[in-house]
Amino acid sequence: MPNYTLYLTTGLKIEGSPVTVGTRTRLSDLLRPGMGECHWAVCLTGPPI
């Protein structure tokens, strides 16, 4: 999996109790070996890939 960089979100209504980032954060800073199954989602803005 690529080591994406996640950025602070603005203008979204986040429901529930998900983990969000307050500053630029590498995915490798959130995920660790042995964490078990993780489900995650991100919003992408910018030009299409």
Confidence of residue 44 (pLDDT cuts 50, 70, 90): confident
Domain ranges of the chain: 1-40
Chain mean pLDDT for the chain: 82
Confidence of residue 46 (pLDDT cuts 50, 70, 90): low
Q: Which pair of structure tokens corresponds to residue 18?
A: 């998900």
Residues contacting 24, CB < 8 A, separation 6+: 5, 6, 7, 8
- For residue 30, is pLDDT > 80? yes
Residue 28: predicted pLDDT: 92
- For residue 29, is pLDDT > 90? yes
Cα distance between residue 47 and residue 49, in whole Å: 6
